[in-house]
Structure formats: structure tokens, C-alpha cells
Structure 1
């Protein structure tokens, strides 16, 4: 059995087991990283691994992503961040099997995804569920929430966090609206999602990986960006339990 390891500073105590897997943990983690980090299909990941002499089917890569992706994401989310005092909320429609569903997402002032949930409704009940989940996960309420003109946000805010400031203006919510773009690219590459469950699982891992690897400040110097990438790769390997 190969066990993952992470230093105590990472806050990751649960070990990841790669027992009964023919391929080494490093290859499994690399394949999962390629799939969730870049706009690649499973078949393209298969081809990239083949170029390195690693013969593995795209179906195996899909199973790796389904099994290990959520575990990696949970460990990445345990990384402590500074308090989020501004929440930007937005929802985007996604068609699954010909039926409309809504992906509700919250990001902070840096564009870091705080939470997202797939729901079949676009009303006050759905908005309230998002806010309730956010408060539970963040352990606090924000200083301010920013949304578009959808009235459901205001109604839910009055029920869940009446003392929090609410700014409702489409022009102020570009940060949340722009957060949908990476997933839209993946949706096209994957030719859509087959079920609500598959969308929820994928976006949960996808956002956790994106939060880690995308620098919050796009105006960093080339050296700072390089150092950020080295640090995030080390954190990814720690989360996957493949530190050398």
C-alpha cells in the first residue's frame, strides 16, 4: 500500500490510499492534475501520457478522476485563507439531458471560489440554500454581498443575514460572472454533462484546483508568478500524497 504524506502545516491528516492500483501514485496524480487543471478531454490526457510512454486508457483516467479528484479537492480546501469579507454571487444556466439547471456560485473579492451548488430552481429557496451553505462553510457572515438584479438574492439575504450589506447591480458583479468562463470552456470540451451529480462532482474538484493554481493578482512580476507556480505544485503534490 502506498500512502500519501503531508506535513502538519498543510492541515491534511487523512491519508490517501493507492492500494490495488497498478500505476504509481505519481502517474495517477499527474493524470488527474492534467484533466482538472487544463481544458483537456480524457482522450487528450490519454494521448499526452502516451507520448511519455505511459499506456493507460481514457476510461481509467476517468475513474481516477472520479475516485481521487474529490479526495484531492478536500485536502486542498483545508488550506487556511484570509477572511472573505465580500461575497460575489451569481448563477448560470446549464442544460443537462435537455433540462435547465442552475449552477449557483460564490466567489470572494479575489475571484477565489467559495462554494457552488447545482439546483433545478432559480428562486428565493435556491438562493437561501446557497447563502446557508456559505455561512456554514466560511464560519462567518461577510461584510457585504454583491449580486445582479435577481430579486431572489435580496429576499434570501433578508431571511438569512439581515444585517449584511447588499449591493445589487449587474455592473458590480463582473467578478462572479467571469468565474463561469473556465467551466464553460470545459463544458464545451466535454460536450456537456450527463447528470446533475456528475456536474456537481466535476465543478467541485475543478474549482478547488483552479483556486490553487490561478494567481489572485494578475499583475505580479514574472518571477513572482514563477515562484507561485512552484509553491502551488508543491501543495498539489502534498494534497495528492506524492511528495518525494
Structure 2
């Protein structure tokens, strides 16, 4: 995925853009720690510390995620919203996540509450970025309905625990990363990491069970080409 002889460097950085892009990709694509990525790079002949990789992930992850959002097709008109509890320094927080009918993550928001105000804040963020869907599916938390009446009264709203499995299943990847990272250190860190991680992982987490082997390889190659282009656009 990268060429160590590549000269397309960012001002102030010792390694080329392709190496930085590879490190950010490996960290978000697989359930790896920073030290795991350090070892992968070492095997490929790149000697860099895990702290440098941490800086790359924090500095450039959001840029990659923004480019993925920029180029992604319009989401399906059916959204699934759900919230899951996360513990940060012993305190309860809620991770709100929305996915469309295709399973692509639309957005996330880490909040300390699970009430009408929190639901309203999350819905406003979604509608500002993607505009209104045809239908919204949630569990039976009343906060969703109360917020929807205020900001999108004409939106069809279905509340049923069994209908929202798609959104609930998307939390599994968060739990896996949370365990590897030894829990999140702050709400800001969780928001920053997950908002980038969900977009990057979705680009490469293809619906393999729905594709033939040939179609899957083509889609994967397209994702690699997109990523290479995004890495070439990196700037300090």
C-alpha cells in the first residue's frame, strides 16, 4: 500500500504520505493497538515509535473521515438510531449512533445524558448533515419521539426493539476497540476517535456476504484506490 521511496512528504514530517496513510488505515481497519501497528511497520522496514503513530492517527484520522463523507453516496432513506452506554473514568456516558438501511454509519455523538435534549441534539446534527430521511427506526426510548415532534414532525417514526437490530449490531465494533484501548479516557477522546473510526472502517468493511468473490475484490480495490488518493491529499 505504500512505497518507502515515495518522496511526497508533508512539510515537517519525516515519512512520506503513503506511510502515514498506511499506519492510519491499519489502526482503524483492524482491531490493533498502536504497538501492533508499530510492529507491522517495522516488518515492512519502517522504524517509527507507537507515539508517532498515535500522533498520525489523531492528526490525520479526521481528515480521512471527512473525505470519506465527502465522496460517499447519499444514504438510504431509512435510518436506524440507537444509544449504548459507555463508561469513562467511572462515569456513565451514552454513545448515540445512526446507521442507514445499508448498514453505513451516518454519525455518532457522545453525550452524558439520554433525555429529550440529548436526542434533539443528535437529530439536529444528523438532519443538518444529511437532511431528513423517509423513516426513522428507534427503540422505545421516548426521548426520540419527543425530539422528533419538535424538529421533524412529518418524519415517519417506528419504535420497536426488534426493528433496530442493524443499529444495535454496529456497537459491537466499538466494544472491541474500547477493550483494546483500555476504555476511553474522556468524552472528547471517544468522540474524536469514533467519529473517524466509524467512517474509515465502513469504507473497508464491505458487505461480503452480499457480493460474489469477484465483486468483492473489485470493491476492495476501489476502496484501496480511494484511500491512496486521500493519503496523497494529506496536508499538515
- TM-score normalised over the length of structure 1: 0.89
Query: What is the RMSD computed on CA atoms of the aligned residues?
Result: 1.6
What's the CA shift for 1:105?
0.5
- Provide, for residues 71-125 of structure 1, a one-character-per-residue CA deviation record: whole Å limited to 9, x for no partner: 1111111014134311100001111111111110110001111111000000010
- Provide, for residues 7-54 of structure 1, a one-character-per-residue CA deviation record: whole Å limited to 9, x for no partner: xxxxxxxxx982110111111110111001110000111111111121
SS at match of 1:111: coil
What's the CA shift for 1:61?
0.2
Work out whether 1:130 is the aligned partner of 2:117.
Answer: no
Q: How many pairs does the alignment contain?
A: 227
C-alpha distance in 2 between matches for 1:217 and 1:58: 32
C-alpha distance in 2 between matches for 1:83 and 1:219: 18
Name 1:91's counterpart in structure 2.
83
The answer to whether the Cα contact below 8 Å between 1:26 and 1:242 also exists between their aligned partners in 2 is no
SS at match of 2:96: strand
Aligned pair partner of 1:213 in 188, 204, 219: 204
C-alpha distance in 2 between matches for 1:33 and 1:164: 37
C-alpha distance in 2 between matches for 1:94 and 1:17: 38
Work out whether 1:48 is the aligned partner of 2:40.
Answer: yes
The answer to whether the Cα contact below 8 Å between 2:76 and 2:102 also exists between their aligned partners in 1 is no
Name 1:199's counterpart in structure 2.
190
C-alpha distance in 2 between matches for 1:97 and 1:116: 20
The answer to whether the Cα contact below 8 Å between 1:112 and 1:216 also exists between their aligned partners in 2 is no
What's the CA shift for 1:190?
0.8
Aligned pair partner of 1:70 in 38, 62, 72: 62
C-alpha distance in 1 between matches for 2:202 and 2:120: 24
The answer to whether the Cα contact below 8 Å between 1:93 and 1:102 also exists between their aligned partners in 2 is yes
SS at match of 2:209: coil
Name 2:5's counterpart in structure 1.
none
Name 1:240's counterpart in structure 2.
231
The gaps in structure 2 that reach 5 residues or longer are 1-7
SS at match of 2:107: strand
- TM-score normalised over the length of structure 2: 0.92
SS at match of 2:117: helix
SS at match of 2:71: coil
C-alpha distance in 2 between matches for 1:173 and 1:104: 13
